[in-house]
Amino acid sequence: MLKIHGIPRSRAFRCIWAAEEAGLPYEVIPIGFQPGFKLERSVDINPNNKIPALEDGDLMLFESLAINLHIAKKAGAPLMPAGHDESRALQWTLWTATEAEPHVMRWSYNAYLKPEAERVASEAAAGKEALDARLAVLERELAARPFLLGGAFTVADLNLASVLYGSWLNGYDYASFPKVKAWLDACLTRPAALKARKQREG
């Protein structure tokens, strides 16, 4: 059984969603936060002392998107396709980490995550401007196909949609990116996503 260390209201949500999509049994080992985004206790299996972390037998993994690639690999197709599409899934996962997440988090911290008194409007605006440039790239890609790799949902979609989930749920303006909005709606209302979201939003 997969053991996911973290709580659904963290990046562990991504891994819970991946386990649900994969149909693999899992257990969430709860580790929450104190004020200031500090963990309530140490995560000894992650040298960075962050969540999520994964135990899969004698394998220990950290980094949520890497954990998801591992879970998808265990499940196989269609979640993790083979051949060139596997390489494209890795490409989009790295794009998620380098191009999308830093900017969505800059916006998120200053739009809804931090206490209102600590938010900086100019930082939220800068995060949105940078993210919008990346969403324009995504909009062009999704004009050609319903999902990142083609006609089927894969771990590439899961990883990117899970990173954008907080913005989608908390009022980010996607009006200029209708293809992205439709794709996010499709990803985040899948049965497995709804099960993961119930844990996070409940």
Q: What is the pLDDT of residues 75-85, one digit of tens each?
A: 999 999 999 99
DSSP one-letter string for the chain: -EEEEE-SSSTHHHHHHHHHHHT--EEEEE--EETTTEESS--TTSTT--S-EEEETTEEEESHHHHHHHHHHHH-TTTS--THHHHHHHHHHHHIIIIIHHHHHHHHIIIIIS-GGG--HHHHHHHHHHHHHHHHHHHHHHTS-SBTTBSS--HHHHHHHHHHHHHHHTT---TT-HHHHHHHHHHHTSHHHHHHHHHHH-
Tokens at 128, concatenated: 């949105």
- Residue 36's pLDDT band (boundaries 50, 70, 90)? low
Q: In this prediction, what percent of the chain has a pLDDT beyond 70?
A: 97
Strands 53-56 and 2-6: antiparallel
Mean pLDDT computed over every residue of the chain: 95
At 122-154, the pLDDT tens digits run 999 999 999 999 999 999 999 999 999 999 999
Task: Give pTM, 2 decimals.
Answer: 0.95
**Domains of the chain listed by start with CATH number:** 2-77 (3.40.30.10), 84-194 (1.20.1050.10)
Pair of tokens at residue 41: 């206790």
pLDDT of 202 over the 70 cut: yes
Confidence at residue 37, expressed as pLDDT on a 0 to 100 scale: 64
Residue 40 has pLDDT above 80, yes or no: no
Put residue 63 in one of left, alpha, beta given phi > 0 → left and psi -120 to 50 → alpha: left
